[in-house]
Structure 1
Amino acid sequence: MNMTVVSATPTVTSATLARRQWLAGAALAALALPLWPLAARAQQTLEAPDALIQRVASEVFDIVKRDPALRSGDLGRIMELVDTKLMPHVNFERMTASAVGRYWRQATPEQRQRLQAEFKTLLVRTYSGALTQIRDQTLVIRPLRAAPGATEVVVRSEIRGKGDPIQLDYRLEQTPTGWKVYDLNVLGVWLVETYRTQFAQEISAKGIDGLIAALAERNRANAQSG
């Protein structure tokens, strides 16, 4: 089985796709947080979503710039950074459910767990290489436009460095443990929408187990290719 999980837009060039993957990796990396004491975590839940992303972006970009292993492409180090410090700040169940779409309701609890595991591995391996490219870039948050008391917001930002600034948008929801990201926009394309079309085609042809098998095969191919 050979499923290439890339942008569903037929006119996307390989250069544009590579650039989109780099930016998505930088956007995801900007959300990673160090492990804070419980008291600090409690205080974080009071932060506005734009303030949270701004603070976290500065911290993570600094970590990458100081870590030779990350900059040299040490996959184990990259996977550890993304997996342990990013995922706690993402509602990954919602992200996966949105990507699977209406078929999520048909999935068993075991299938849902396997979908989340394979989708997470796919995203980490696809985008984590962007960490190695961080040099002098910074993430600048644009003014937040949200109604008072809103529990879901879009935080708009730009990656600035050499060349023109690049727009990145985050969709976040407020949860009992703080704001969590469930989708992001890279170069005008929302990540969830990019995968939803491909996932629907795979499920329509081969069922939910077929999608799980296709994701697993793609992850194995990525692991073998390094």
Structure 2
Amino acid sequence: MKRTLKTLLIILSILSANVSLATESNTPLNAKELNDIINPPGAAALNIMVNALSSLKELRKQNRANNENVKTLIKIKFLPNLAINYSTQLTLKNHWSNLSKEQKYLFQRYITQSLIKDYAGYLGAYEQLESINISVSPNIKRKDNKAIVKLLISFDGNPKPFKVTLNMIHLDRWRIYDVRFLGVSIIKTYQAQFNAYIKRKGLERLIEKISKKLAKG
């Protein structure tokens, strides 16, 4: 009887310890910690690209992948995943603080429209959608709420995929604020164009020029 009671006490103590450990491991995570586990930047980047290409594939299957439809696809699939405000701020850099709220919005609109055209060109370049393979490089660089994700894209099992680098920032979720292809950064390209124009004619003239372009559509 004593031996049975002793065995029972040992079993209960083990169970108690296991319950304690289980309780510790099941501590609720805050929203940021949970999001890092279920939606890391690499997965977010891959989902954005695969989702857009799948939609493009469907448009082509129905012979409706004209330029306007591809632009609409980008507005639906890409734009919600872009950190346009942050991208615009980085593009204008030292000039950002000198702009009014209306002028900042003006540049955001201009860059948004330009990105739609650029991305339409990029997507239009993907001809072999049936044989495309996209993967995420394991070397993801992270610092605070930013990440650099490299997507490896290949066609027909080509052993030499090309790279598309996505610079991402976590706001309410992971969003793209810059894209680099063949070493060329979209933000750096706009930045160089703006700075060259400002140096020649000034910031006010650039604002006037952009206003006219937006007015023309």
Separation (CA, whole Å) in 2 of partners of 1:72 and 1:132:
13
Unaligned runs of 5+ in 2: 1-33
1:49-128 alignment runs, 5 A limit = 49-68=41-60, 73-128=65-120
Alignment partner of 2:123 out of 121, 126, 131:
131
Q: Is contact 1:70–1:131 with CA below 8 Å preserved after alignment?
A: no
**Please, what TM-score do these two structures have when normalized by structure 1?**
0.68
Query: Hey, what does 2:191 align to over in structure 1?
Result: 196
Decide whether the 8 Å contact of 2:137 with 2:150 is kept in 1.
yes
Counterpart amino acid of 2:174? Answer: W
Contact 1:93 1:116 in 2 (8 A): yes
Q: CA deviation at 1:84?
A: 2.6
Counterpart CA distance in 2 for 1:67 and 1:106 is: 43
Corresponding position: 1:166 with 2:176 = no
Q: Does structure 2 conserve the Cα–Cα contact (< 8 Å) formed by 1:158 and 1:166?
A: yes
Q: Which amino acid aligns with 1:212?
A: I
1:110 counterpart SS class = helix
SS at match of 2:202: helix
Corresponding letter in the other structure for 2:151: S
Q: 1:49 to 1:207 in 2, by over 3 A?
A: same
Superposed displacement of residue 101, structure 1:
1.8
Report the counterpart of residue 145 of structure 1 in structure 2: 140
**Aligned residues of 1:73 and 1:129 also touching (Cα < 8 A):** no
Count of residue pairs brought into register by the alignment: 178
Judged with a 3 Å threshold, the aligned counterparts in structure 2 of structure 1 residues 59 and 220 are, in CA distance, closer, same or farther, namely same
Q: CA deviation at 1:196?
A: 1.0
Aligned to 1:156: 150
Aligned partner letter, 2:150: R
Instruction: Tell me the CA shift for residue 160 of structure 1.
Output: 0.9
Measure the CA separation in 1 of the matches of 2:122 and 2:63: 9
Alignment partner, residue 4 of structure 1:
none
Task: Quote the offset at 1:154 in angstroms.
Answer: 0.5
Q: Identity percentage over the alignment?
A: 19
The corresponding residue for 1:206 is: 201
Structure (1/2) with the larger helix percentage: 2
Q: 1:72 to 1:213 in 2, by over 3 A?
A: farther
Contact 2:166 2:176 in 1 (8 A): yes
Task: Provide the rounded CA distance (Å) in 1 between the counterparts of 2:162 and 2:119.
Answer: 17
Long gaps (5+) in structure 1: 1-42
- CA apart distance, 1:151: 1.5
User: In the aligned structure 1, how far is the partner of 2:90 from the partner of 2:213?
Assistant: 20
In 2, the alpha carbon distance for the partners of 1:67 and 1:202 equals 38
* Distance in 2 between residues matched to 1:212 and 1:74, nearest whole Å: 32
CA RMSD of aligned residues (A): 2.7
Conserved 8 A contact 2:110-2:210? yes
